[in-house]
A = this chain, B = another copy of it.
Amino acid sequence: MSSDHPNPVPSPLPSCTPTLPGFTCGLDATLRVIAGKWKPLILYFLAQRGPIRYGELRRAVRDVSDKMLIQQLKELEADGLVKRTDYREVPPRVDYGLTPLGRGLAEALVPLCVWGTENIAEVTRLFAEREAGDDKLPAARTAGTGKEASPG
């Protein structure tokens, strides 16, 4: 089988607690919670900037539309990760912060952030090649997220 295999197999990762009620594993559960184009970014942003007003968040997470931001915030709130505070003032004032649960999840995102930062050169290069190839190979890759606007 794989005994005559040229690749050495490095140390394995911790098992991901298989056969859970509705999920493949804990990783699967987490991924479903953070599924959505902006959720991880929102979580991480909220973790950094603490409770923040809607408008400010919107301006910070550039490229996001009202509909999307509101929608993702609502889902995050429904999932108990984000806490919405409505001050019931006359020009509406609302702000969003993380719950302890949300904070824990945001912290779990740190290694991904680190990995991305450390390998940004690799990733950038690969993505450039990917897009260049997309022009010619229709079936090679069905185009990325299309989100290329530089929000920085």
Contact = CB atoms under 8 A, between A and B. Distances in A.
A33 B123 contact: yes
Contact of A13 (B53, B83, B85, B110): B110
A111 to B, nearest CB: 4
Interface residues of A, number: 92
A135 interface: no
Contact of A127 (B18, B32, B48, B115): B32
A71 interface: yes
Given A7-B85, A31-B112, A117 B149 contact: no
A88 interface: yes
Interface string A105-135: 1111111111111111011101101100000
Top 10 A-B residue pairs of the complex, sorted by shortest distance between their CB atoms: A26-B117, A26-B116, A19-B152, A9-B50, A30-B116, A29-B116, A108-B111, A27-B113, A108-B115, A30-B112
